[in-house]
Structure formats: structure tokens, C-alpha cells
Amino acid sequence: MAIAISQDAFDSMVRENMEDLGMDPDEALADAVEALTLQGADLSGIIKRVPGEADAAEVSPVVRVLDELKASHSASGGSGKDLDRLISLLDEFRALCSSGEGSENSAVAVRNGGVEALVALCALARIEQEMLLASALKALSSVLRDVVSTEKFRQSEGPKIVMDILKADSESSDLLDAGFSVVAAGSAGNEVVKESFMDLKVHELILQVMREKSKTNVQSLYVAVRVLLTPDDNRVVASQVYGYSRRFAEIGIAEVLVSSLREQVTPSSLPSACAALKAIAVNDEICRSISENGGIDVLLQCIDEAGEHKNKVIARSCCSLLSKLAASDANKSVIIQRRGFDRFLKLTSRFSEDPSIIQEVMYMVTVLTLRSPENAARAVEVGYGTLAIQAMQRFPSLGQTQKQACLMIRNLVVRNPENRTILLNDGAEKLIRKAKMIHGSCKDAATSALRDLGLDNYNA
């Protein structure tokens, strides 16, 4: 844990360097930063200034804007001019926290009461003031970057205030997008905030918004689903997100997401929607329900279209989700019946120089051939043994690609002795041994592949 230090303590150290040690201002400041860094102090959000030379607002633009924001909000009479001024300050604040120095500016804002001020503004604004609320929520999401900021958000009753705004049945897509951005940012890395939103029934609200056609292009909604269902708080031994995923599935969000993929999601939102659906698909029952609602057909169609339009982001997202669904044995059969093997191979031919797509396809084939000699036989027949060999030849420096090729080869041969001869004749042994020697991450996968190829010296 980093050592906490206040702005006053930092200023005092700089002052002592000048007064007691006779350092000049610049030297005193640099020495304080270096000494505290070596001691493990957390200097994020500390304004590196020489006391007496300038106040915080002069040194830090974000402090100046925050001070003006607090003053303007306190003095606001609700007139159009007052609201325009507040919105302008909020937008300037967000720009500062989203710029190249955004991380440091956000930390400074958090130390100086930025989270509390923005939550308070959201609480006092009227729902009719949509532009003001949207700007305030966007500014708030820009400062929620770590546990310190998200804890301040939680302690300020931020989850309830944001949920009240989202539940107010606004027709503003901009306001909804800003609100769900806060849900995502506030929940990231904080299990307690996730729990707060789930207790406030955020999953039911998300379902309601998704079912209203006019609001289906709220991209941050999909991001919020993914973040809420991701176990990313390293302070927690056992996350509750698996249970949350089942709660999402129980009320029908998976089915609505499939419908969104089929009919309404824009190309820019599709990867986020896939990631959200992948986060929900945590067990065999849910994976099968997604397939039964047409999810596999939709994804295969999206993969075909992504190949035609050379959209590797969509192709990778759809393949990743399909791999998750293929963990269900029932879904494996559906994918094979829908000519999945042929379609994936066609995709790799369109992205023959993109190892990320080839890697995703190899992972999917690895899943499809797991404990399935019939699928393994079909995979080699249509050319996946050749794909593995070519991938290893083309991308020798990419450890993850080499590893995935080894894993796929293992599944292609472990229950299919007839496939061993084919792959060995194509030069698999030499390539696997080379990958094992060059990439430490490949060692276990390469050893398993060599063993299941029937080679005696697989540990060599």
C-alpha cells in the first residue's frame, strides 16, 4: 500500500527544504518529490508547487475550474445564463480530466473535493435540466478512475443519486449515455459499488432501457453491463459477479441483447454489446438460451459481414463471444451445423496477415474440438491443421499465437491418431519445438502437443 500524504504535508516538506537546508525553490520542490517517491508516498493528486509562490488555482487549471464550479453552483439562481456558465465550466473540467494530463488532473480534482462537488450538483439539479445533468455526469465519469475516487463516489451516495436520474424516464439519449458511463466508471474495480448498484436494481433498469427502441444506441449501457459483471476488485477474495450474471440472465437481458445484435446495435456499439453478452454467459444453461434465441446465427452472420468489410474489431469481438458460447456441447453442434468451420476459415483468409484474428479463430476451434473426435476430424479435413502450421511459420515472434496453435494442434490429435501423421508430415514437430525454446509461455502447451502427437521425447 502506498503511504498517504496530504497537500499540507507536501508543502511543509518543500518549505523545510528551503528554510532549514537552504535549497532554492526548484531544488527544494524536486528533492521533496524524489524523497517522498522513494519512501513510497502516493503523490497522485498532489500539486507540485513551491508554497508562497502561487496558490493552487494558479498552479493547477483543474483546481481553478473546480473552485469556479463550486462558486458558480452556490451562486446559481437557475437562470439560463447561470446554467450556461455551469455547463461551460463542467465541459472545461471534463476536457482537463480527459486530456493528455487527464490522469493527474483527475487525481488533483479528487483530492480537492471534485467527486463530492459533482455528486452534489447532480443531486440538486432538476431532471428538466438535461443538458446540465448530462454535462455533470460526463464530468463525474472523467474523475472516477481508481478505488479512492469510486469510494468517495459511494460515500457521497453517488449510486443512488445516479440511479434516481436514470429512473426519471428521460428521453435524452445523451443523458442516459452519460449516466451509464458513471455506472461503469464507478463500478470499475470496486466490488462494493457494484453491490450498491445491484441492490438498487440497476439490472432491471438496464432491461427497461434496452427494451425501448429509441434508447438502444446508448453504448455506455453495454459497457456498464460488462463492468458490473467483471470480477476486477483485487481487494475481494470471492466476487459476487457470477451471481449478478445469473440475475441479469434470469430477467431476460441475454435475449434482449441478442435482439439488439440482430436488429438495432450500430457497428460502433456491436463490440461492446458482444462483451456485455459474454459477461452474462457464465454457465451452460445461459449459453444454450442465447443459442436458442438465435444468438449463434446472429454472430455467424456478423462474422461473415465483418470479413466482407474487413472490420477486424467486430470480427474479433464476435469470435470471442462465440468461443464462450461454444463451451456448451449443445452449442458446438449448432455451430458445426451452421458451417462454422468453413466460415471461420474464410475469415482467416480475409485477415491472413492479422495474427489477432487468426488467434481468435484457433481458440474457437480449440474449444469446438475439445473432447470431440468427430469435430477434430472435420477440422483437419477442411484445413485447420494447415492453418496452425501456417500461423506458426508466419508469426514466430508472437508467443500467444504460437501457444494457441500448440493448444489447437493438441486437440486435433489427442483423440484422433490419424491426424498425427498429417501434422507431423507438415512439419509440426519442428515448429512446436522452436516455439517451446523461444517462448516460455509456450512451454506447457508445446509439451502437451508433442506428447499427444505421439513423440517419446516430448519433454526435451
Q: Is residue 219 included in any domain, yes or no?
A: no
Q: Are residues 339 and 373 in the same domain?
A: no
Q: Is residue 410 included in any domain, yes or no?
A: yes
pLDDT recorded at residue 169: 67
Q: Are residues 61 and 177 in the same domain?
A: yes
Q: Is residue 108 included in any domain, yes or no?
A: yes
Q: Are residues 157 and 38 in the same domain?
A: no
Q: Are residues 189 and 65 in the same domain?
A: yes
pLDDT recorded at residue 349: 96
Supply the range of the domain harboring residue 25.
Answer: 7-54
Q: Is residue 26 included in any domain, yes or no?
A: yes
Give the C-alpha distances (Å, rounded to integers) separating 344 from 132, 329, 412.
47, 18, 16
Q: Are residues 298 and 343 in the same domain?
A: yes
Q: Are residues 174 and 287 in the same domain?
A: no
Q: Is residue 119 included in any domain, yes or no?
A: yes
Q: Are residues 63 and 28 in the same domain?
A: no
Given a contact cutoff of 8 angstroms between Cβ atoms, the answer to whether 362 and 408 are in contact is yes
Rounded to whole angstroms, the Cα distance separating 445 from 409 reads 10
pLDDT recorded at residue 386: 97
pLDDT recorded at residue 172: 85
Q: Is residue 228 included in any domain, yes or no?
A: no
Looking at the 3D structure of the chain, how many domains does it have?
A: 4
Per-residue pLDDT of the chain (460 residues; tens, 9 = 90+): 667 778 788 888 888 888 888 888 888 888 888 888 888 888 777 788 788 765 655 668 888 899 899 888 765 555 567 888 999 999 999 999 987 777 888 988 998 899 999 999 999 888 788 999 999 999 999 999 999 999 999 999 999 999 999 999 667 889 999 999 999 999 999 999 999 999 999 999 999 998 885 455 688 999 999 999 999 999 998 999 999 999 999 999 999 999 888 875 677 889 999 999 999 999 999 999 999 999 999 999 999 999 999 999 999 999 999 999 999 999 999 999 999 999 999 999 999 999 999 999 999 999 999 999 999 999 999 999 999 999 999 999 999 999 999 999 999 999 999 999 999 999 999 999 999 999 999 999 999 999 999 998 898 7
Q: Are residues 70 and 45 in the same domain?
A: no
Q: Are residues 185 and 242 in the same domain?
A: no
Q: Are residues 104 and 169 in the same domain?
A: yes
Q: Are residues 29 and 154 in the same domain?
A: no
Q: Is residue 227 included in any domain, yes or no?
A: no
Given a contact cutoff of 8 angstroms between Cβ atoms, the answer to whether 344 and 300 are in contact is no
Q: Are residues 341 and 251 in the same domain?
A: yes
* Domain stops at, among 200, 227, 250: 200
Q: Is residue 214 included in any domain, yes or no?
A: no
pLDDT recorded at residue 10: 82
* Domain stops at, among 334, 367, 400: 367
Residue 78 CA from chain centroid, whole number: 38
pLDDT recorded at residue 263: 77
* Domain stops at, among 200, 223, 250: 200
